[in-house]
Structures are given as structure tokens and as C-alpha cells.
Amino acid sequence: EFLMLSHDLFKARSCDCIYPNPMSRRNVLAFFSLWNQAVGALLARHKPAVFHCPDFHTALAPWYAVPEWPHLRVLLVLHNS
């Protein structure tokens, strides 16, 4: 099963880069804060057995789901570390 997130902040990215443009601190903070909160809500709603965090910027999402889904297991992969 695949789930898609949609928000104007996510659509504001260019086709050349998956991250917010321009890469100001405020834009990056808003982007990843919204992303982690939205994914946390999806995790709490769908209750998967495992959530794969592909890098450090996704690692906060499970914290938003833990109050409603305390048995969530997390796999965190840190690239280039």
C-alpha cells in the first residue's frame, strides 16, 4: 500500500530538486515539520508494523504517532554517516 501526501508547501518544489527551493532555514524547517507531522498522523491512522525512515530528516515522524501507536517499530537508515 502506498500513501501520498499533498499540500501546497510540497508542491512548491521544483522538478529539479526534491527539497524546498530556496533552501532557506525557514523553508526547510516548515517543509520537514509539516512532512513529519503529516506522516506521523498517517502512521497513527494506518498502524503499520514497521516504519522505514530513509534518513535523519524523517526520524521525527514516528514521535507524532507513538501516543496512538506505541508498538510501532522504526528502521532508521543514516546515509553518508
Nearest to 49 by CA among 77, 75, 15, 12: 75
Which three three-digit cell numbers place residue 11? 508542491
Q: What is the pTM of this model?
A: 0.82
Q: What is the pLDDT of residues 30-59, one digit of tens each?
A: 889 999 999 999 999 999 999 998 888 889
Interatomic CA distance for residues 71 and 58, integer angstroms:
18
Beta bridge partners of 50: 73
Interatomic CA distance for residues 62 and 65, integer angstroms:
5
Instruction: Say yes or no to pLDDT of 26 above 90.
Output: no
So what's the pLDDT on residue 81? 64
